Structure 1
Amino acid sequence: MADEEVAEQGELAITRTGDRLRLAREAAGLSLADIATRTRITQRHLDAIEKSDFSGLPGRTYVTGFARAYARAVDLPEAEIGAAVRRELEEDEYVARPAYEAYEPTDPARLPTARLTWTLVIITALLASAYGVWRFLSVEPDEALIAAQNADADASEAPAADATSAQSATAGAAGTAQVAQDAPVVLTGLSEVWIGFDDATGKTENWRTLDPGEVYQVPPAYIEQFTLRTSIPQALKVTVGGRDVGAIGPADTLVKGVSLKPADLIARAEGSSGGAPAAPAPKR
């Protein structure tokens, strides 16, 4: 009986999703480095998820996506883990809200002066403006936003592809003749940037973030099987065989379907390929 009570108390002590992920990893005999290799997520982000320290992660969508990827790596139900993380994020936001302290409006001693009132109004307006600017510049990928952007991009792909396919096939041949098929493809973060790799059906199988100055060489298997997507193309530098291919899309837009094959990237650099269509990211 005592052993059952101890086991029950141990289960109750595991109240955070990060604990479930950590215990599943340990039960599988895996290290954080093993999980990082499987998910392509940095160890510091994985450590933050295990500790439920979401303040160290870029945003809500990153937290949910990273947790789901972690769950897949340790054979936990990713939908259940994602829902649990979202609940914890909402709970943390609720606890962080300042408590409302009521006061008697009829008490003259506690009524704010006109000067104080105007000061508070001005401060509130400045904070709201600063927050709006931050949200606009952050361009954080949101699941609903990405779905809407993908729908817009899919709708515009067919006519763009038909109009440029013939020109790309002819003009790209001369520019790519000198490109080695095994030339290394390297991605470098100019600022913190989210990137994803889509399979042939358009599903994002792998994603990660690059810190400013971080360099990531795309594995050969990714070059053959996946295409690149990102929502902040101006924050990402793409080189093939040491050659900068230039911008892969307009600033602050979702670009997807970017071929990672050396010949296609060189053709893009020489202006012979129209590239993947981009869906404008709405201001946030």
Structure 2
Amino acid sequence: MADEEVAEQGELAITRTGDRLRLAREAAGLSLADVATRTRITQRHLQAIEKSDFTELPGRTYVTGFARAYARAVDLPEAEVGASIRRELEEDEYGARPLYEAYEPTDPDRLPTARLTWTLVIVTALLASAYGVWRFLSVEPDEALIAAQTRDAEASEAPSADAAGPAATKAAAGGSAVAANAPVVLTAPGPQEVWIGFDDATGKTENWRTLDAGETYQVPPAYIEQFTLRTSIPQALKVTVGGRDVGAIGPADTLVKGISLKPADLVARADANAPATGAAPKPKR
């Protein structure tokens, strides 16, 4: 009987989605490093999700998406986990609101002053505005964020790898040789983080992640063969192939996509960028 009571208390103690994810991971015999490898999410962010400490994440926009990816990695229903995380975010937002004492209108001595009344009105309006913005931004990034960026691409899209084909082909003919298995490395030099996505042959973003400032990510060989790269802030992303800097992959603050990750294509892009960045000065007459 005592054992049943202890078990029931243990079940009642697990009230947060982070606890559920952690227990599923431990039951599967996985470490945080294993889940990080499967999801391409940093261990620091995964640990924050397990603790339900959402302030440690880069933004509440990413909380639901990270939790759903974690759920997939440990064989939990991702839709259910996503809904649970959204409820917890709403509860945290509600709990952060200041409490106030209700005044009885029949008691003139306890009526609030005009200054206090206006203060409460302003605070309530600010909270309502902040909540509306948070609700707008808290939609899962792997759905709404990517869809919004795709729509923006129609108005401000940099030339894709196919559009730059002639220049890249010409550069490849006389450019530097590179090994077919040369490592392709993506770096966020800082000071800002960089969102990157990997698109399949149809242009659909199948995988995505955020690089923190100073973080380096070596693209897996399978990604190089199957996917192309997209990002919305190309000026904040450094791409190297075999240790060679490819240079700019698109105009600043513009959504670029269809960037081939194959070493030969990246070297061709680097050779095409070389004249613009390293042209010899004209001799003085």
Alignment of 1:172-183 (within 5 A): 172-176=171-175, 178-183=177-182
CA 162–251 in structure 1, closer or farther in 2 if over 3 Å, else same = closer
Closer, same or farther in 2 for the Cα pair 1:224/1:74, shift >3 Å?
Answer: same
Question: What amino acid is the match of 2:74?
Answer: V
Normalised TM-score (structure 1): 0.74
Instruction: Please report the RMSD computed on the Cα atoms of aligned residues, expressed in angstroms.
Output: 3.8
**Counterpart residue identity of residue 195, structure 2:** W
CA contact (8 A) 1:104 1:110 kept: no
Q: Equivalent residue for 2:257?
A: 256
Q: After TM superposition, list the pairs within 5 Å mapping 1:65-214 onto structure 2.
A: 65-101=65-101, 111=113, 142=141, 143-153=143-153, 164=163, 167-168=166-167, 170-176=169-175, 178-189=177-188, 190=190, 191-214=192-215
Query: Equivalent residue of 2:36, what SS?
Result: helix
Q: Is the 8 A contact 1:232 1:254 kept in 2?
A: yes
The residue that corresponds to 2:244 in the other structure is 243
| Deviation, structure 1 residue 23 | 0.4
CA positional deviation for 1:198? 2.5
Does the C-alpha gap of structure 1 residues 256 and 166 become closer, same or farther in structure 2, counting only changes over 3 Å? closer
Shift of 1:252: 2.9
What secondary structure, in the 3-state scheme, does the structure 1 residue paired with 2:85 have?
helix
Q: Percent identity?
A: 78
Q: Give yes or no for contact 2:176–2:267 (8 Å, CA) kept in 1.
A: no
Deviations 1:83-122 (Å, cap 9, x if unpaired)?
2112111111111122245568977995356xxx89x98x
Is the CA contact 2:167–2:272 (under 8 Å) kept in the aligned structure 1?
no
Give distance in 1, aligned partners of 2:110 and 2:179.
81
With structure 2 as the length reference, what TM-score do the two structures score?
0.74
Select between 15-24 and 177-186 the one with higher mean Cα deviation: 177-186
Three-state SS of the structure 2 residue aligned to 1:69 is: helix
Kindly provide the CA deviation profile for residues 45-99 of structure 1, in whole angstroms up to 9, marking residues without a partner as x.
1111100000000112321121111111111111211121121111111111222
Gaps of 5+ in 1: 273-284
Equivalent in the alignment of 2:235:
234
Equivalent residues, number: 258
Residue number in structure 2 paired with 1:23: 23
